[in-house]
A = this chain, B = another copy of it.
Amino acid sequence: MARLPVYLRCLLEVADTKTATISSERMAELAGVNAAKVRKDLSYLGSYGTRGVGYDVEYLLFQISRELGLTQDWPVVIVGVGNLGHALANYRGFSARGFRIVALVDADTAKVGERVGDLAVRHLDELPDIAADESVAIGIIATPAAAAQEVADRLVAAGVTAILNFAPAVITVPEGVWLRKVDLSIELQILSFYQQRRMGTAMADAVLSAPGG
Contact = CB atoms under 8 A, between A and B. Distances in A.
Task: Count chain B CB atoms within 10 A of each CB in A96, A185, A188 and give the residue with the most.
Answer: A188
Interface in A181-198: 182-198
Contacts of A193: 1, 4, 67-69
A109 B161 CA distance: 44
Contacts of A68: 189, 192-193, 196
Interface in A1-50: 1-2, 4-6, 8-10, 30-32
Q: Is the interface of A mostly helix, strand, loop or mixed?
A: helix
Copies of this polypeptide in the complex:
2
Interface residues of A, number: 60
A157 interface: no
Contact of A194 (B10, B178, B199): B178
Interface string A130-174: 000000011000000000000000000000011110001110100
Nearest to A168: B93
A62 interface: no
Interface of A: 1-2, 4-6, 8-10, 30-32, 67-70, 74, 76, 83-84, 86-88, 90-91, 93-94, 96-99, 137-138, 161-164, 168-170, 172, 178, 180, 182-199
Given A6-B170, A84-B87, A164-B187, 14 more contacts: A5-B189, A8-B189, A31-B170, A69-B193, A69-B199, A74-B192, A84-B91, A99-B192, A138-B192, A138-B195, A161-B198, A162-B195, A180-B187, A180-B191
